[in-house]
Amino acid sequence: MTEAYIYDALRTPRGKGRKDGSLHEVTSLRLSAQTLNAVKERNNLTGHAVEDVIWGNVTQVMEQGGCLARSAVLASDLDERIPGLAINRFCASGMEAVNIAANQIKGGAGDGYIAGGVEMMGRVAMGSDGAAIAVDPSIAMEQYFVPQGISADIIATEYGFTRDQADALAVESQRRAKVAWDEGRFAKSVITVRDQNGIPILDHDEYMRPQTDMQSLGALNPAFQAMGEVMPGFDKIALMKYPHLERINHIHHAGNSSGIVDGAAAVLIGNKEFGIRHGLKPRAKIRATAKIGTDPTIMLTGPVPVTEKILADNGMSISDIDLFEVNEAFASVVMRFMQAFNVDHDKVNVNGGSIAMGHPLGATGAIIIGTLLDELERTGKGVGLATLCIASGMGAATIIERV
Amino acid sequence: MTDFTMNKDAQGIATITWDAVGKSMNVMNQAGFEDLEAHIDDALGDDAVKGIIITSGKEGSFAGGMDLNVLAQMKADAGEDPAKGLFDGIMSIHALLRKIERAGMDPKTNKGGKPIASVLPGTAVGIGLELPLATHRIFCADNPKAKIGLPEIMVGIFPGAGGTTRFVRKMGAMAASPFLLEGKLLAPAKAKSAGMIDEVSADPMADARAWVLSAKDADMLKPWDAKGYKMPGGAPYHPAGFMTFVGASAMVNGKTQGAFPAAKALLSAVYEGALVPFDTALKIEARWFTNILMNPSSTAMIRSLFLNKEALDKGAVRPAGVLDQRVKKIGVLGAGMMGAGIALVSAQAGIEVVLIDQSQEAADKGKAYSASYMDKGIARKKATPEKKEALLSLITATSDLEALKGADLIIEAVFEDPKVKAEITAKVEAVIPEDCIFASNTSTLPISDLAKASKRPEQFIGIHFFSPVEKMLLVEIIKGAETGDRAVAKALDYVRQIRKTPIVVNDARFFYANRCIIPYINEGVRMVGEGVEPALVDNAARQLGFPVGPLQLNDETSIDLGVKIAKATKEALGNAYDAGAADDVLFYLFDQGRMGRKANAGYYEYDEKGKRVGIWPGLRDKFPVSDDQPTLIDVQHRLMFSQCLEAVRALEEGVLMDIREGDVGAILGWGFAPWSGGPLSWLDMLGSAYAAERCDELEAQFGARFKCPDLLREMAAKNQSFYGRFSNKTDAA
């Protein structure tokens, strides 16, 4: 069978997704185009070099609407014969772009793809694209819809994670991200975002708070307690789906949940011939991909069943994996993953994660695949698995193997 | 004779008057719609008519709603496809109301229509408000007793003649929600502030005439028919509207625990309707309304909570031929919590009350309950100091039995001890008139036994109140072996006076309500003893629509009472007594001194204010939660069947004489899953064959208490339903 190889993976730094964030002045279009240009330049791509650009993005309205993928190609230096496909699988959109591209290649539909995604969360607000599952009673009531923060707290309650455990994981994420930046572990993949004159705008992840400790996190109030217990009372809905629970333990807050940021990422994927034609050396092959649906109320447990599935589908076991990237959407998501597979934290998110550096929804899936690859190379390890929890109850995973 | 008449006057106003023949309040039926439409067509087509007023010929009211048989008829007329019949019928109502609303306006220019006003002498509910809502301006008499609103949700449906769509378009989803989701009714002045109606005045007819004669095109145009209409508070995908709609689904789901299909259908009609133009929204409303009318739950709720409750309220089971037995002077024996409550509700009905206790002090304390109740009402502006005085003047608190002279009904509410009761019965009968009826409010002692202390057992009866008396809607009337018809009629007429709903049952252990409630509590407690997570037990009950789960209910009714009942039952049943795990749990709590809510300690822990804070950890220590938890549906079936099978046995044994009473009594008496229409309706919903099969499974798994009653077994064999088998006897709808 044709193999799909990763030839390059890069990302922008992550800017605070707020009015005072460094990337707030940059449009989704420009950030996307600049990311694509970086792929083109670093790999000397000319002409109709790739089959398609598959671009993940969650909130596809306003400047992120109208098939941003195609606009981004046209705004970039890529050849206009390269089309663009905008996709949305919520937080795994960037990963799904990579997985679709890899599977197209494996299936023989084209030699090369650019896959990745963007999310300018400070410019296009999360949720501003609407969502039937949240407001249409015929699904919201039938499926016991609760917002993700409540779901994360259900996980903590159901699987017995405490506030202290979650805070400790957050402190460790911050510490690891600081070490990774200090040691230049992201140097290979992070590009500098520049203005139209070439003036640098941002060259590092600015959301990080390396000084975070248990005491500073301890001062934060649970973020989802009021909406759970008072208005509109989502805990009651949670208990309808999980009636063996007496109450929901609200442990999550801004400090142990992923950060709202702006950012983009891209992965260059191709078959063997693609590498030969462009004079590129493959870094890893995409060994397997998977996605799965889960209970939409607890919503964020997807990494567990999707990992079980990807391992089973490919005759692998958890011990075959050297390193894990489990998106830190919320602390409990990662804790549940480690609990379910009895995996040590030493192997998971070793350079920190979305709690420290932020989670630009449509891009994160591509970011963590790149981070995983960089770390496999740095440590000389072979096989890595990246996975994310996904809104509305889904999970996605990718296994890569260095070549 | 027709319910609607029209009069055209010299000034060019056509007044359509709704005056249903032989009824105290207007109720809409199929012929009414046809009459109304003919008049509207006539008036709109008559060049001499400049405007129209729709009013009522009834004093103090416009209309009380729709004859629910209209809907049943639409369903029946459609034969093979009842849903289509309903939908078409509802759409034709929309067409008529829309004709009124558009009033001949040009669809493009919105000009050239005739002004149509409604004049409400008072109460306007259900279709009685939906019709005025389609007119251009609503004028209501300043009648503080009138009630305005859309209470359909209370019987398991929702406003389906445009009321839902028009309320939301007028007020916005958020503002409309208490009126649609809770069926809240308002007096005219408040209804105006809420935006339900437009004007409140002393002479609404004069004001309406003036308005009609001066109305311009713009005055007739509804906001939703004007260009650029925006829904107040925002449509679902407007940022503000989004939050409203996210919250609405969650709040309704949490509050109803998903157990009321009408609330879901209503919200869907609101949401989907908010995304499309008005006429499309009406069509969507009709589709969801049809959907809810086709839901067995709505049929059962309408039957129990509307038709049959009303029938029982009006004396459906009153013995024929007994003269009016309304009570003039009542004697209440025992001024404790129950006695004080009975005195209060009796005085509220204008009955002279003598409240007796052993000491003047105790009697006064009982009367003080009424005073503090009225004080709370005054604080909430529901009562006045004058009303309080008038009510208190009806109650004489005394320890002197002589005061009972001239009473025509006695209700005894003294300590639950046969000896004490026998003593007071004899003493009181020595004072009261020969024809006075004597009732006991006992909840546990057989009436026939208590009647032995009476010289006049045919005048002795049980009138069993639920606590708190002033809140609970049901009264259980118990016939002893020798109780006569006049005593039954007396009890029924009294219950009607105090505006509660009666059921009449024969004398047997725990009568009807407690007979069903006790197994419900026991089943829940038993599960805890078996290692079921306590939260699962109470959550499962709440998701069935019970106001409180069995553990919480046991805390409310107290652990010591539970122990007392268990001991008494054991004594009565001997070897047949099924001790089970329930007693282990109950007696453990008793031994730990955790007597329930009153002790601020029971299954639950309570804070110093008496607020429940969580399940007592000691419960799980003593009865560890097993790793293997049952499914939600298994827990729910145990809780449901434990009650429903008692209802069937009560019917089988003749304790229950009328299935309507079994269903209405269960919902009003202990909050039995209202969406089901009651225990017998629920078994009908399951189907007797499946219910019998499920009994066998539950019996095999959990024990003999789930053994299928012979009656149900026989019905399963014949494929019968309770309402099919017993309806000829009961006139149940």
What domain range is B201 assigned to?
Answer: 4-300
Residues B145 and B229 in one domain: yes
Report helix, strand or coil for B44.
helix
Nearest CA in chain A to B532: A244
Residues B404 and B503 in one domain: yes
Q: Beta-carbon neighbour count of residue B114 at 10 Å?
A: 22
Closest approach of B7 to chain A, Cα-based (Å): 46
Nearest CA in chain B to A135: B246
Indicate the residue among B510, B538, B573 that finishes a domain: B510
Q: pLDDT at residue B2 above 90?
A: no
- Radius of gyration of chain B measured on its C-alpha atoms: 28
Q: pLDDT at residue B110 above 50?
A: yes
Question: In Å, how far from its chain's centre is CA A115?
Answer: 13
Q: Average of pLDDT values for B322-347? A: 97
C-alpha torsion sign, points A277, A279, A281, A286: negative
Question: Are A317 and A328 within 8 A, CB to CB?
Answer: no
Nearest CA in chain A to B247: A232
Question: Token match 């000397």: residue?
Answer: A44
Burial A19-31 (b: 16+ CB within 10 A, else e): eebbbeebebbbb
Residues in chain A with CB shorter than 8 Å from the CB of B264 are 137-138, 141-142
In sequence order, the 6+-apart residues with CB closer than 8 A to the CB of B284 are B269, B272, B273, B276
Compute the distance between CA of residue B403 and CA of residue B354 in angstroms, rounded to an integer. 7
Chain A interface, mutation test: which of B174, B180, B243, B246, most A Cβ atoms within 10 Å?
B246
Compute the distance between CA of residue A282 and CA of residue A254 in angstroms, rounded to an integer. 39
pLDDT per position as a tens digit, B290-302? 999 999 999 899 9
Number of domains making up chain B: 3
pLDDT per position as a tens digit, A44-71? 999 999 999 999 999 999 999 999 999 9
Question: Are B410 and B333 within 8 A, CB to CB?
Answer: yes
Q: Beta-carbon neighbour count of residue B545 at 10 Å?
A: 19
Residue B568 has what pLDDT?
86
Query: Is residue B733 a part of any domain in this protein?
Result: no
DSSP A329: S
Q: Which residues of B have a CB under 8 Å from any CB of A? A: 236-237, 239, 242, 245-255, 257-258, 264, 267-268, 271-272, 533-536, 539-540, 543, 614-615, 629, 632
- B118 forms beta bridges with B54, B138
Question: Are A71 and A40 within 8 A, CB to CB?
Answer: no
Q: How confident is the model at residue B74 (pLDDT cuts 50, 70, 90)?
A: confident
Compute the distance between CA of residue B84 and CA of residue B89 in angstroms, rounded to an integer. 8
Structural element, H or E, at residue B275: none
Indicate the residue among B602, B632, B662 that finishes a domain: B632
Query: Is residue B109 a part of any domain in this protein?
Result: yes
Residue B1 has what pLDDT?
57
Query: Is residue B45 a part of any domain in this protein?
Result: yes
Q: Average of pLDDT values for B570-579? A: 83
Span of B196-200, B267-271, B323-327, B728-732 with lowest mean pLDDT: B728-732
- Whole-angstrom CA distances from A300 to A201, A224, A304, A332, A366 are 34, 15, 9, 9, 19
Compute the distance between CA of residue B554 and CA of residue B557 in angstroms, rounded to an integer. 5
Q: pLDDT at residue B310 above 50?
A: yes
Residue B675 has what pLDDT?
95
pLDDT per position as a tens digit, A310-343? 999 999 999 999 999 999 999 999 999 999 999 9
Q: Who among A135, A233, A237 is closest to B242 (CB)? A: A135
Question: Token match 């992201």: residue?
Answer: A186
Q: Average of pLDDT values for B724-731? A: 68
Q: Which CATH number goes with the domain that contains B575?
A: 1.10.1040.50
- Beta strand pairing status for A383-390 and A394-402? antiparallel
Q: Average of pLDDT values for B498-508? A: 97
| B540 HSE (CA, 13 A, CB side) | 27
Chain A interface, mutation test: which of B164, B168, B249, most A Cβ atoms within 10 Å?
B249
Q: How confident is the model at residue B732 (pLDDT cuts 50, 70, 90)?
A: very low
Is A47 part of the contact surface with chain B (CB cutoff 8 Å)? no
Compute the distance between CA of residue B543 and CA of residue A244 in angstroms, rounded to an integer. 12
Q: Beta-carbon neighbour count of residue B107 at 10 Å?
A: 7
Q: Beta-carbon neighbour count of residue A179 at 10 Å?
A: 14
The sheet that has B51-56: what strands, in order across it? B4-8, B13-18, B51-56, B116-120, B137-141, B199-201
Residues B533 and B506 in one domain: no
Closest approach of A224 to chain B, Cα-based (Å): 14
Question: Are B134 and B162 within 8 A, CB to CB?
Answer: yes
The one-letter code for the residue type at A154 is I
Query: Is residue B314 a part of any domain in this protein?
Result: no
Residues B149 and B174 in one domain: yes
In sequence order, the 6+-apart residues with CB closer than 8 A to the CB of A226 are none
Q: pLDDT at residue B553 above 60?
A: yes
Q: Average of pLDDT values for B566-583? A: 86
Residues of A that are catalytic: 91, 359, 389
Q: pLDDT at residue A296 above 60?
A: yes
- Whole-angstrom CA distances from B733 to B302, B303, B726 are 9, 6, 11
| B59 HSE (CA, 13 A, CB side) | 0
Put simply, the answer to whether B251 touches A137 (Cβ < 8 Å) is no
Put simply, the answer to whether A134 touches B614 (Cβ < 8 Å) is no
Residues B439 and B551 in one domain: no
Q: How confident is the model at residue B382 (pLDDT cuts 50, 70, 90)?
A: confident
Percentage above 70 pLDDT, chain B: 99
Put simply, the answer to whether A141 touches B264 (Cβ < 8 Å) is yes
Residues B485 and B378 in one domain: yes
Q: How confident is the model at residue B220 (pLDDT cuts 50, 70, 90)?
A: very high
Q: pLDDT at residue B436 above 70?
A: yes
In sequence order, the 6+-apart residues with CB closer than 8 A to the CB of B405 are B431, B432, B433
Nearest CA in chain A to B236: A135
C-alpha torsion sign, points A58, A64, A65, A67: negative
Question: Token match 């209970």: residue?
Answer: A295
Compute the distance between CA of residue B629 and CA of residue A243 in angstroms, rounded to an integer. 11
| B428 HSE (CA, 13 A, CB side) | 38
Closest approach of A345 to chain B, Cα-based (Å): 28
Report helix, strand or coil for B148.
strand
The one-letter code for the residue type at B211 is W
Question: Are B179 and B168 within 8 A, CB to CB?
Answer: no
Nearest CA in chain B to A239: B539
Residues in chain B with CB shorter than 8 Å from the CB of A231 are 247, 251
Residues B8 and B47 in one domain: yes
Q: Average of pLDDT values for B459-484? A: 97
Chain B interface, mutation test: which of A126, A135, A151, A240, most B Cβ atoms within 10 Å?
A135
Put simply, the answer to whether B250 touches A247 (Cβ < 8 Å) is no
Q: Which CATH number goes with the domain that contains B220?
A: 3.90.226.10
φ, ψ (nearest 5 deg) of residue A6 = -90, 125
Span of A8-17, A383-392, B250-259 with lowest mean pLDDT: B250-259
φ, ψ (nearest 5 deg) of residue B38 = -60, -45
Q: Report DSSP letters for A135-157, one per residue.
A: H-HHHHTTTT---HHHHHHHHHH
- Whole-angstrom CA distances from B98 to B43, B92, B124, B245, B265 are 15, 10, 19, 27, 22
Span of B74-78, B627-631, B640-644 with lowest mean pLDDT: B74-78
Q: pLDDT at residue B730 above 80?
A: no
Compute the distance between CA of residue B91 and CA of residue B94 in angstroms, rounded to an integer. 5
Chain B interface, mutation test: which of A61, A141, A158, most B Cβ atoms within 10 Å?
A141
C-alpha torsion sign, points A308, A309, A311, A315: positive
Counted residue by residue, chain B has a size of 733
Query: Is residue B652 a part of any domain in this protein?
Result: no
- Beta strand pairing status for A112-120 and A52-56? parallel
DSSP B135: S
Q: Beta-carbon neighbour count of residue A181 at 10 Å?
A: 21
Is A128 part of the contact surface with chain B (CB cutoff 8 Å)? yes
pLDDT per position as a tens digit, B658-706? 999 999 999 999 999 999 999 999 999 999 999 999 999 999 999 999 9
Q: Average of pLDDT values for B93-121? A: 97
- Radius of gyration of chain A measured on its C-alpha atoms: 20
Q: How much is the ipTM here?
A: 0.94
Q: Who among B246, B271, B540 is closest to A243 (CB)? A: B540
Q: Beta-carbon neighbour count of residue B12 at 10 Å?
A: 15
Question: Token match 């941003």: residue?
Answer: A68
Percentage above 90 pLDDT, chain B: 92
Q: pLDDT at residue A191 above 50?
A: yes
Residues in chain A with CB shorter than 8 Å from the CB of B239 are 128
Q: Average of pLDDT values for A30-43? A: 98
Tokens of A239: 């208990």
Residues B496 and B540 in one domain: no
Query: Is residue B372 a part of any domain in this protein?
Result: yes
Residue B68 has what pLDDT?
82
In sequence order, the 6+-apart residues with CB closer than 8 A to the CB of B685 are B296, B297, B300, B676, B677
Residues B266 and B341 in one domain: no
Residues B573 and B484 in one domain: no
Question: Are A350 and A291 within 8 A, CB to CB?
Answer: no
Question: Token match 């009950």: residue?
Answer: B541
Q: Report DSSP letters for A182-248, one per residue.
A: HTTTTTTTBPPEE-TTS-EEE-S--S--TT--HHHHHTSPPSSHHHHHTSS-HHHHHHHHSTT-SS-
Residues 223-262 on A with a CB inside 8 Å of B are: 231-234, 236-237, 239-240, 243-247
Q: How confident is the model at residue B728 (pLDDT cuts 50, 70, 90)?
A: low
pLDDT per position as a tens digit, A101-120? 999 999 999 999 999 999 99
Query: Is residue B503 a part of any domain in this protein?
Result: yes
Query: Is residue B656 a part of any domain in this protein?
Result: no
Put simply, the answer to whether B247 touches A232 (Cβ < 8 Å) is yes
Compute the distance between CA of residue B610 and CA of residue B598 in angstroms, rounded to an integer. 8
Nearest CA in chain B to A146: B250
C-alpha torsion sign, points B442, B448, B453, B456: positive
Q: Which CATH number goes with the domain that contains B496?
A: 3.40.50.720
Q: Who among A128, A130, A237 is closest to B250 (CB)? A: A237
Q: pLDDT at residue A210 above 80?
A: yes
Indicate the residue among B469, B494, B510 that finishes a domain: B510
- Whole-angstrom CA distances from A60 to A66, A68, A72 are 7, 8, 13
Residues 270-299 on A with a CB inside 8 Å of B are: none
Residues B603 and B495 in one domain: no
Residues B36 and B172 in one domain: yes
Residue B731 has what pLDDT?
41
- B54 forms beta bridges with B16, B118
- B656 forms beta bridges with B505
- Beta strand pairing status for B501-506 and B61-63? unpaired
Q: pLDDT at residue B389 above 70?
A: yes
Residue B314 has what pLDDT?
93
